[in-house]
Amino acid sequence: MPHFVALAVGRDPLLLETRSQVLRSDGYTVVTALSSNEALQQFRSGDFDLVILCHSIPILERERLADAMHAHSPNTPVLMVSRTSNEQQLGGDASVASDPEQLLRDIPSVLEKFPPENGSPVLGSSLRRRA
């Protein structure tokens, strides 16, 4: 299984830790941030395969974060976790309801849409094996 690093961002520490545990149990390395400023600092100084923005962050703030992250690294997908499946997706690359199992099912398809920055074909083929 490939090694993926995710930046998970949210304002609710318990929810953020729970989501991080779910991701870790599926083999992801997870770095967390409890504020937009912390998230941007982590993002700019790290090398992430995926960013997950929690619904505990107001939607317009999530949109600004996604835009700032895309400006820094356009090939890093930003997943917006919403409270409901019909919440409008703004700024991110994909939206998913907060159900942990659905999140784990959706991440590989989101990652497949973004070529790795180093041009390695390993990402797409390994994701197809995981699905």
Quick check: 81 and 103 in contact, CB under 8 A? yes
**pLDDT at 123 (0 to 100):** 39
Percent of the chain with pLDDT over 70: 79
Name the 3-class secondary structure at 130: helix
Which of the 8 DSSP states describes residue 97? E
What is the rounded CA–CA span in Å between residue 85 and residue 78? 17
Tell me the average pLDDT across 59-78. Answer: 92
Amino acid in position 73 = S
This prediction's pTM: 0.81
The residues near 18 (Cβ < 8 Å, ≥ 6 apart) are 100
Quick check: 50 and 90 in contact, CB under 8 A? no
Domain CATH code at residue 65: 3.40.50.2300
Is pLDDT of 73 > 50? yes
In this structure, the strands spanning 29-33 and 50-53 are unpaired
Is pLDDT of 66 > 60? yes
Q: Which domain holds residue 13?
A: 5-130
Number of domains in the chain: 1
- Cα three-residue angle 123-125-130, rounded to 5 degrees: 90
Give residue-wise pLDDT tens across range 116-127.
Answer: 654 443 333 333
- 131 pLDDT tier (thresholds 50, 70, 90): very low
Is pLDDT of 19 > 80? yes
Beta-bridge partners for 30: 6
How confident is the prediction for the chain on average, in pLDDT? Answer: 81
